[in-house]
Structure 1
Amino acid sequence: MSEITDVDSYISDADENARPTLEALRGMIKSAVPEAEEEIRYNVPFYTFHGTHVGIGAFENHATFGIGADALGSEDRKRLEEEGYKTGKETIQIGYNQAVPIAELTQLLEAKVEAARKSQ
């Protein structure tokens, strides 16, 4: 990838297989948190809101949705793993051959937004 300065460039520079997943994640974030500021940090898309953030990234065979350990509990990870997604302490991997779990991610994101609003 060349020097990325905005999310549109990041997505258009990504592998063709990654673009639909990245667009779905971006759309979900913008829909759930319309006030989020979109920017590139650490060479990946970041969305900042109410003193917190989430990020997305494209890799060879999957995209990652980074939501943070504060929002991704062990029960959430277990449920997503049962549906075939790989998870880490703060992230969810979505294979390019998998559907983006929009409902589940939206629920996690909305809970993160609510917690961030309360802590301000």
Structure 2
Amino acid sequence: MPSFKEYLAIIDNPDHRQRLETILNWVETEFPELEFQIKWNQPMFTHHGTFIIGFSKAKNHISVAPEKACLKEFAEEIAESGYNATSEIFRIKWDQPVNYKLLKEIIEFNIKDKADCQTFWRKS
């Protein structure tokens, strides 16, 4: 399975690479029970085989994907953080601060909400 370093090596901009590495390392440190995986060319974290959160790089931002139910739950906090959101992701621009408190709440919500989930994605 590809590692952080293998995934990060494809990011040409060293500042973007460092920023995403910092976020991925933070998730791994804060939530050691999560498993790191790369699926669909994106780094993501799972718990007991179910998706918890994913990240991907774009030209102008990092996309954060915690699933629709979680985005709805934290829509206000995401907007208050200055992040642009769609129904599937929210975006942290490369020059915006990362709201780690919000990321922690999102991940904790997904772990708890999906504790009994037996599928990779929530069934809506």
Q: TM-score, normalised by structure 1?
A: 0.82
The residue number in structure 1 matching 2:22 is: 24
Structure 1, 18-27 or 96-105: larger mean CA deviation: 18-27
Count how many residue pairs are aligned between Structure 1 and Structure 2: 116
Counterpart in the other structure of 1:90: 88
Q: Distance in 2 between matches of 1:21 and 1:70?
A: 26
Q: Report how far residue 9 of structure 1 moved.
A: 1.4
SS at match of 1:5: coil
Alignment partners' CA distance in 1, 2:88 and 2:115? 20
Match of 1:70 in 2: 69
Q: Is the 8 A contact 2:4 2:21 kept in 1?
A: no
* 1:108 pairs with one of 106, 109, 114: 106
* Letter matched to residue 8 of structure 1: K
For the aligned residues, what is the CA RMSD?
Answer: 2.1
**Match of residue 5 from structure 1:** 2
For normalisation by structure 2, the TM-score amounts to 0.80
Quote the offset at 1:29 in angstroms: 2.0
Distance between the aligned counterparts of 1:28 and 1:118, measured in 2? 25
Task: Identify the residue that residue 40 of structure 1 maps to in structure 2.
Answer: 38
Q: Which moved more, 1:64-73 or 1:14-23?
A: 14-23
- CA distance in 1: counterparts of 2:99 and 2:18, whole angstroms: 13
Shift of 1:108: 1.0
Letter in 2 for 1:38: F
Q: Mind listing any 5+ residue stretches in structure 1 that lack a counterpart?
A: none
List structure 1 segments (4+ residues) > 4 angstroms apart after TM superposition: none
Structure 2: segments with no counterpart, 5+ residues? 119-124
User: What is the CA–CA distance in structure 2 between the aligned matches of 1:52 and 1:70, rounded to whole Å?
Assistant: 14
